Structure 1
Amino acid sequence: MMRKNYYRKLAFMVFLLAILLAYQKYTSREKEPFPEVKFIVNSGTSINLADFNPNALDKDQWKNMGFSDKQISTILKYKEIVGGQFTSKEQLKKCYAISEEKFKEIEPFILLPETNKESQLKHFKNFEKKHITIVRKFNPDEYSVKDWAKLGFSEKQAEAILKYRNYLGGSFISKEKFKDCFIISPETYSKMAPYLLLPEKTPENFKTDKKFATKAHIQYHPFDPNTLTAEGWKSLGFSEKQVNAIVNYRDKNLHGSFKSTEDLQKCFVISEEKFQELKPFINLIMIKKEEPKQETTDFSKTDLNLITFKQLREFGLDEKSAGSIIGFRKKLGGFITKQQILDTYNIDKEMVQKLISIVPLNSSGVVKYSLIDAPEEWLKNHPYFKYSADKIIFYRLSNSDDKKIWKLLKLKPEYEERMKLYLK
């Protein structure tokens, strides 16, 4: 037994020694070297910038230029506020997320006009919608916005061309003057020149004043646009095509006459400048048609059971009151007493009191029945009978006397009283 315990102790010591050796080996092993840490330090060097269009930059590109996420968010929101794109350096500078120093740093590389005025001019100079298409010779003095648009110009460009024509007094005068229009690029003019029905050179006696040039032969005089002939319109400086448009607008759109000076102003072939020139001379004479006299109602001779909705409105009742009276009268089959009118819901009681004091009531035409012979449909739809209709129909099956039915109904005196108004 002692020998057995000895071997057990020996085995335990060997096992414990093995654990100690293993632990020593593990703790004394050579450790792997820790990776070297490298810190990125801002060297303070300036960002390499190249020419850029701020409208084309995304968030990452703005960040590469040195802006924070918050600044970028502000810049993009500002871009949406100004219409979806920056139009000039002047506009971009106003964004408070870009400091004065930062703007000076990036300004030389911004691909935008300096100011909004330059941007607008550039917008007009940026060529027509697609390309100019001309198939025949034409007189540009006769062209409207739609005509210029058909050639390939945008609506804004067409309006600018017409403003320039108005500046010259309503005519381009010559090819030379037409070429001076800032909307018409040299390339466009070279395409259009062979088709222009205009003199090559500007007459020597042509002059312009400080404001707008006017044709010497136009003599403004008072006129009525509703009676002015085609020749009359031409004498005011309009072309034949414009005259046709004005006359068609008057006769078709306005059914034969201008009702006001504003109607004339809305005619698309008359520019705002031209209208202001004409305005002092417009003498619009309107022929007033005599309206048929409306017959007034003699309410003292009108029956309350026959009075119409229109007559009630004429008397002074509002739509709600008039509608309520007509509707209640229809359900009753006619009024028996004036108090019924006064008891109608949703009415102006003060006005109705005045009405019933003036207008007579004739109830002789109101249909009446007995409880025995009243139609079932009439009983079920009449405001005074519908809540007792089923009982009346049941009781009269075994009773042929109205008095007995009244006793069986056991109604309040006030209900019985108003029901009897419509009984024989």
Structure 2
Amino acid sequence: MNHLFKGLKMNRRECRGFFMLVIVLVLAMAIPVVYKSLHKQSTLPSDSLVVYPNLNERQPGNRHYAEVDRKDKPYPQRPPKNKATLFYFNPNNLPSAEWRRLGFSDAQIRVIKNYEAKGGRFRKKEDLAKVYSISASAYQRIEPYLIFPDTDEYKARAEKISAEPALSSGWKAKENVYLNLNTADSVELMLLQGIGPVLAQRIVKYRQALGGFYHFSQLEEVYGLPKETYESIGKHVYVDTSDVKKIRINSCALNELATHPYIKYRKAKYLYNYRKEHGKYRDLKSLSPVVPIDTVFLRKIEPYLEF
């Protein structure tokens, strides 16, 4: 070895430097090899493995292993779906709140409202089945509750009802009793189980004060209506929202606002004075700055306002 270095004409100091360089190069090449060897030998504990079959190669013994966290972690929950409440309804111009009550999502409702905004109208049950946002299962769920006042089916029902005599409140409604809460008179309402002359007149009077019902649950607000009566007549009535009378919020008088059961004088005065000071309301959201107005109130009066 000394002869080799002498032949290369290297002194002792240069020889030491050469040996150090060789050692560094050897270590640099050896470390990755050793690391890979140790990594292949390492094994995962059997209780921390989950086995999945290879879906691409369905061969015996072909398995994939994935390390999983042994700590229990809850799965992310999907947002709850709208709880469906079924009731008889005319789908034309039905408020968004009522579509939600039927269990439809905001995305589905937007498609329906866009169709109506372009002049679309549902004339028979099958028209609703053509809306791409309404699945076949959703259509089958609501199909028995669809009402179209202009159809022969509805007119035939109305003729049968009008032929019945006025009956006492103890009478049990027949299956062919099928009333639109926004057009039925007090005599027709008495055909319903538990509805006598007094309650029939109260329903009509409250309906006139509201400007019409926009969903069945508003019947609960009628003074003196028993809960059992409310529950028993649900399948014999429906609400056609096209009969609801709107309040022109940007031109109505103070008295017209004040006489509405949901608004009354105090809120009517705030709404009226705010309009005088700030100009016309653009939409429902523009009513929010009025002091005593909250979101619950806005949702309640939305079906009765026209901008």
The question of a shared fold, defined as TM-score above 0.5 by the shorter chain, is answered with no
More strand by share: 2
Higher RCO, Cα 8 Å, sep 6+: 2
